């Protein structure tokens, strides 16, 4: 009798284990089946938006490097030097180097404007997609050696029974702009404190090379040379 009860108990436990195992297997396979699968077309749309953001960022950052996005302190003037327009970051004792906050704000505005030129997804519309999208929102953060761009852009792409949704994109561009701008600001402050001279001690103490490549009685042209880029600007007494 005791053996019979023991066998029954074993059968019950084994049955419960089998039932639990079957339930767990069904749960896992169901979750796997419900997980969205990334199709080639879905990735193609995502890559298109990312490439548009990259192009907009690269174009805008080049304008920032060249001084074309201006300054929050006063209107920047330019001089012609070796066939190029060079920004004048000091004029009559005024420091015109843009602040980081200003540069980030102007970059966000510029990137958004450039992004809107290529983000219409017309090519996909021509191939039968129905596109619904929000207005893009851009946030930029300038670090010591990189620019981080965060894009909030809700897109719904529908074709037949397939629907793809997108919302957030990021792009990081390696650039020494923030560090170079800090060096430029220090050199401008030094030049304004002692008009007509160059603080060689300040230049010698920088890890990034600085060269004075042209000078006259009132205007001196400098280059800040980083491993990735060269920043050329002028100081005017």
Residues 50 and 157 in one domain: yes
pLDDT at 46 over 70: yes
Residues 25 and 53 in one domain: no
Q: What is the mean pLDDT of the chain?
A: 84
Residues 49 and 9 in one domain: no
Q: Which ranges of 36-176 would DSSP assign to H, the alpha helix?
A: 40-65, 100-118, 122-126
- Binning pLDDT at 50, 70 and 90, where does residue 104 land? very high
- The total number of structural domains in the chain stands at 2
What CA–CA distance (Å, rounded) separates 186 from 97? 10
Residues 51 and 16 in one domain: no
Q: Is residue 204 in some structural domain?
A: no
**Residue 21's pLDDT is what?**
53
Q: Which residues of 17-44 are buried (b: 16+ CB within 10 A; e: fewer)?
A: eeeeeeeeeeeeeeeeeeeeeeeeebee
Looking up tokens 């037949």 gives: 160
Q: Is residue 50 in some structural domain?
A: yes
Looking at 155, 175, 195, the residue that finishes a domain is 175
Over residues 92-110, the mean pLDDT reads 94
Determine the structural domain holding residue 13 and report its residue range.
1-35
Over residues 159-177, the mean pLDDT reads 94
Cβ contact 181:97 at 8 Å: yes
Residues 138 and 28 in one domain: no
Dihedral of the CA atoms 199, 204, 210, 212 (nearest 10)? 40
pLDDT at 124 over 50: yes
Cβ contact 76:96 at 8 Å: yes
- Binning pLDDT at 50, 70 and 90, where does residue 220 land? confident
Residues 123 and 144 in one domain: yes
Residues 45 and 27 in one domain: no
Q: Is residue 150 in some structural domain?
A: yes
**Residue 185's pLDDT is what?**
92
- The whole-angstrom distance between residue 227's C-alpha and the CA centroid of its chain comes to 20
pLDDT at 36 over 50: no
Residues 113 and 130 in one domain: yes
Beta-carbon count within 10 A of 10 CB: 10
The pTM assigned to this predicted structure is 0.78
Poorest-pLDDT segment among 17-26, 153-162, 199-208: 17-26
Q: Which residues of 131-152 are buried (b: 16+ CB within 10 A; e: fewer)?
A: eeeeebebebebeeeebebbbe
Residues 121 and 46 in one domain: yes
Residues 131 and 109 in one domain: yes
Residues 113 and 135 in one domain: yes
Over residues 120-134, the mean pLDDT reads 92
Residues 54 and 1 in one domain: no
Tokens describing residue 153: 């852009």
The 10s digit of each residue's pLDDT in 176-213 is 999 999 999 998 988 888 887 777 888 888 888 898 88
């Amino acid at each position: 009798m005791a053996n019979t009860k023991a066998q029954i108990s074993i059968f019950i436990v084994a049955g419960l284990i089998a039932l639990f195992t079957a339930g767990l297997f069904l749960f896992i396979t169901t979750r796997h089946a419900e997980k969205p699968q990334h199709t080639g077309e879905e990735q193609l749309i995502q890559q298109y938006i990312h490439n548009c953001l990259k192009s907009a960022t690269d174009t805008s950052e080049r304008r920032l490097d060249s001084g074309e996005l201006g300054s929050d302190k006063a209107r920047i003037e330019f001089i012609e030097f070796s066939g190029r327009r060079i920004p004048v970051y000091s004029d009559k004792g005024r420091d015109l180097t843009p602040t980081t906050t200003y540069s980030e704000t102007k970059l966000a505005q510029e990137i958004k404007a450039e992004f809107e030129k290529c983000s219409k997804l017309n090519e996909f519309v021509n191939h039968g997609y129905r596109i619904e999208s929000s207005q893009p929102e851009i946030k930029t953060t300038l670090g010591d050696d990189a620019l981080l761009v965060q894009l909030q852009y809700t897109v719904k792409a529908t074709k037949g029974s397939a629907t793809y949704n997108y919302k957030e994109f990021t792009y990081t561009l390696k650039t020494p702009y923030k560090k170079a701008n800090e060096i430029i600001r220090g050199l401008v402050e030094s030049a304004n404190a002692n008009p007509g001279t160059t603080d060689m001690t300040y230049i010698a103490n920088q890890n990034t090379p600085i060269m004075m490549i042209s000078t006259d009685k009132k205007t001196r042209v400098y280059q800040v040379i980083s491993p990735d880029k060269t920043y050329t600007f002028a100081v005017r007494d």
